Structure 1
Amino acid sequence: MINISINIPVKPLLIGKVGKSYGILGWINIFSFTEEQEKIFNYLPWFFLKEKKWTKIQINNWKNHKNNFVVQIKNISDRSIVRKFTNSDIIISKYTLPVLQKNDYYWNDIIDCKVFNLDQIYLGTVINLMRIKNNDILILKNESKKFKKNILIPFIENHIIKNVNIKNKFILVQWK
C-alpha cells in the first residue's frame, strides 16, 4: 500500500482568508467566502497560501466569533507561530466540493465565461460575481472602447440569463 501525502491542492479553489491571531493559545480568525459561511468546514483539508508558499492545515477546533470564525490548527498552540498565517488565502482542491447535478455549476465555473446578448453581440468576460439581497450580479470586464467601466448584469435565470454553458464557457443574456 502506497501512502501519498498531497501538500498542494489539485485544481486550487479560494474559499476564504486568514485574519489575525486570536488569543495566546494559537487560535486564528478566518473569513469564509462560501455561500453559507459555516460550510467552509465541510471542505477539508485546507491549504494556506501566502507569498507563493503552501501549507497544508488540519483544523483541531473552531467556533463562531463576531460574524466570522476562529480556528485552532492541529499541533499549534502558540500565538507567535500562528501569526505567520495572517493574510493567507484559504484554498481547497476543487475535488473536495460535492458533485453537482446536471446543469448546476459553482460560481467559480462562471468566471472567464464570455457573455453575449440575444443579438449575438459580445458584451465581455465574467471577472467576478457579487451577491446582493435579491439576486446575484455578473461583473463583466467591458472590452468596448466606448465605455471603460465594468458591466453589471443581474443574474436572474430565465429572465435575463437565458443560457449558461460551462463546457464552452459562454453565457447568453437578454441585455443591450
Structure 2
Amino acid sequence: MDIPIKPLIIGKVGKSYGILGWITVFSFTEKKEKIFSYLPWFFLKEKKWTKIKINNWRKYKKNFIVHIEDISDRSIVKNFTNSYIIINQYTLPLLKDNNYYWNDMLDCKVFNTNNNYIGQVINLIRTNNNDILVIKNKLSPFKKNILIPFIENKIIKNINIHNKLIIVTWN
C-alpha cells in the first residue's frame, strides 16, 4: 500500500538535523510520543506520497528527530521538509462506546438545545484553557465561522458520533 486508504494528519516534518539523514518532526497527537505508535507513516508534499519506515527516533527540545530507514544523507531527507505526516486512520486503536477521536467530530452537524441548526464542524483548535469547535455557518448573512468553546456538560451537551450530531448550549 503506497497511500493510506483513510488518511489522517498526525504531524508535520521540519528541517533536516545533522548530516546523516535525521529530520525534525512535530507531533499533533495529544500525547506527543504517541505519534510513534501509529506506523507506518506517509509523507505528503505537493500531492506526492512517500511511505516511510522509521528506524530510530529521540526527543529533541520540545519535538523529535527521526531517522528514516535506508536514508543517511541530509540532501535526500531535506526534500521531506514541510511534508505532512499522515497515517491510515485504521491504524488508530478502536475506542469503547461514547469515546471518539477529534477527527470523528469533523463534519458533525451542530444544533443548539432549542434545535436550531448552527452549522457544521470544520476544525478544532487546541488552546491552553479549552479546545474550540470551529463551525461553518452557511446560514449567517456574514458567512463567518462560529467558534464554540469545547466545555463538556456546560456548553457541549451531547456528541453523537454515529449520527454526526453535536448539541450545544449556544445561541
Tell me the TM-score range normalised by the shorter chain: over 0.9
Q: How does 1:132-151 map to 2 (within 5 A)?
A: 132-151=127-146
Q: After the TM superposition, list the runs of 4 or more consecutive aligned residues in structure 1 that deviate by more than 6 angstroms.
A: none
Letter in 1 for 2:116: I
Q: What are the ranges of 5 or more consecutive residues in structure 2 without an aligned counterpart?
A: none
- Counterpart of 2:40 in structure 1 is 45
Amino acid at match of 1:75: D
Cα offset for 1:14? Answer: 0.5
Q: What's 1:79 paired with?
A: 74
Distance in 2, matches of 1:61 and 1:36, equals 19
Counterpart of 2:90 (choices 95, 108, 112) is: 95
Shift of residue 135 of structure 1?
Answer: 2.0
Counterpart in the other structure of 1:121: 116
Between the aligned residues of both structures, percent identity stands at 70
Backbone CA RMSD of aligned residues: 1.2
Cα distance in 2 for residues equivalent to 1:146 and 1:48: 39
TM-score, normalization by structure 1 = 0.93
Matched, 1:22 2:20: no
Q: Which residue in the other structure is 1:165 paired with?
A: 160
Q: Secondary structure at the match of 1:24?
A: coil
Structure 1, unaligned runs of 5 or more: 1-5
TM-score by length of 2: 0.95
Counterpart Cα distance in 1 of 2:25 and 2:156:
33
Deviation at 1:83, TM superposition (A): 1.1
Q: 1:154 aligns with which of 136, 144, 149?
A: 149
